[in-house]
A and B are shown apart, each in its own frame.
Chain A
Amino acid sequence: MARWLAALALCAACLGCADVRPWERDALARADMAWDPDPLAAALAKHIHFSKEGSLDGGPGGGGGCGCN
């Protein structure tokens, strides 16, 4: 019984993997939702970070922003 409930929960969780539709990305387009709202400050922080790390910069992944173009 517990296994079937767990299976149902897993299926429900997968349904929750729905994309945000392209026309629903208004909140993501806000400046405060940008990965780096302040590009200059972000560039400075990144430089300091990988300078201290002594390693190559991996860079941020995708996922933020309005998705336009």
Chain B
Amino acid sequence: MKRVRIAALTAAALTCAALAAPIGALEKGERAPEFSAPGIAGGTISLAAYRGKVVYLDFWASWCGPCAQALPALDQLRQEFPATDFQVVAVNVDREPKLAQAFLKKRPVGYPSALDPKGSLPAQFGVASMPTSFLIDRKGVVRHVQRGFRAGDVAPLREQIQELVAEAR
């Protein structure tokens, strides 16, 4: 009886620990969840508005070192493709939006950034590291998950974007 109690207690404790574990990430082949969020420059940013275009959805924060490298690189990449084919959309997860605004004042980019200080979007997308980005095709399906950012990631991304842009609408 004592063994049963110990086993039950252990199982309960492990279940509680498991419940506290993070959710799974959105993977290649899954449909990206639709969302609408306030834009950092005002207005609303909605993923549905970009259907028909290849979208690079980037989760970033002002405190994330690699994000500081990624933002200008993504802006450069965005300009290599026609706006009707490819767009970069960012989601900022700073708890204080003014930090994101100050960051962008120093390093302005030409693509929109949504604000999500509560972190509901990264939770929905299953962001497992900072930064994490999702390359979404014209039909809204995730085709690549980019975890982290290093300078060497740009060339492979460019190739993937070229392939997706070449796909029919």
- Partner-B contacts on A (CB < 8 A): 7, 10-12, 14-19, 21-26, 29-30, 66-69
User: How big is the B interface, by class?
Assistant: 20 to 34
The verdict on A26 contacting B16 (CB below 8 Å), with A67-B129, A68-B64, A68-B65 known, is no
Chain B residues within an 8 Å CB radius of A69: 65-66, 129, 148-150
Interfacial residues, chain B to chain A (CB-CB below 8 A) = 9, 12-14, 16-17, 19-22, 59, 61, 63-67, 93-95, 119, 122-123, 127-132, 148-150
Residues in A whose Cβ lies below 8 Å from that of B129: 22, 67-69
Docked CA distance A24–B129 (Å): 10
B41 to chain A minimum Cβ distance, whole angstroms, is 21
Identify B13's interface contact among A14, A21, A66, CB under 8 A.
Answer: A14
A-B contact count (CB 8 A): 75
With CB as the reference atom, state the residue of chain A lying closest to B8.
Answer: A7
**Residues in chain B near residue A17, CB distance under 8 A:** 17, 20
Closest 4 pairs (CB-CB, A-B): A18-B20, A69-B148, A14-B16, A29-B63
9 contacts between A and B (CB under 8 A): A7-B12, A23-B61, A26-B63, A29-B63, A29-B65, A67-B129, A67-B130, A69-B66, A69-B148
Whether B130 lies near A22 (C-beta < 8 A) is yes
